[in-house]
Amino acid sequence: MAYSFDFTAVAQYHTQLAVGVGYTLMLTALGAVLGVTLGTLGAVVRAWRIRPFAQLFGLYVELIRNTPFIVQLFFIFFGLPALGLRLGEWQAAIIAVVINLGAYSTEIIRAGIQAIPRGQIEAAGSLAMTRTQIFRHVVLQPALQKVWPALSSQIVIVMLGTSVCSQIAAEELTFAANFIQSRNFRAFETYIVVALIYLALSVGVRALLNQIGQRFVVKRRPA
């Protein structure tokens, strides 16, 4: 039987799609800022073996990197209430994204920090630079320059992973898609449109991160 395509049945729900995109980008932005901050802290602690926090961060990284994101999300949203800690769907989603990205960015940034020659740090100390100046200009910035492409890719991966948050009724893009196809019964058209939106978001976010890297990390203005 021939199938008649009808994308207008999806287009009429453009408001729900726009809201879903907005929530997805908000979740990604918050997750990126807080997750990379957590990852930077973890990277410093692990690279410089600051006890006992190095062992704690090591356990955290192994736990998060070796369990599915959806299990982490369900544990936060469904598991923590058993201990008396109740979270809304957006609170749980943000916490899960931050914790997940924090673990991966810890290892990515740690690799960059460990690639900095020890002699370079000692030379900075001989120039009477403060510890803060050494960390910012000699350790952190060069480390981020080395790992920025990998870190950007991980942020995009996390953005795509936020689709799982629809399972706890967080109203991001996949939640909007599920809602739309349950109303128009046009699953093929709905998910084709949403897949294209995710593709556009991935390309756009990657381009934005590249611009941020050139402007603030590499300190080179785009031509």
Domain extent listing, the chain? 12-217
Contact 12, 186 (CB under 8 A): no
Q: Is the pLDDT of residue 217 over 90?
A: no
Chosen CATH of 12-217 out of 1.10.10.10, 1.10.3720.10, 3.40.50.970, 3.40.50.720: 1.10.3720.10
Average the pLDDT over 25-40 and give the result: 96
Whole-Å CA distances, 187 to 34, 57, 62, 63: 35, 43, 38, 36
Average the pLDDT over 34-52 and give the result: 92
What pLDDT, on the 0 to 100 scale, is given for residue 111? 93
pTM equals 0.91
Lowest mean pLDDT of 51-55, 104-108, 121-125, name the range: 121-125
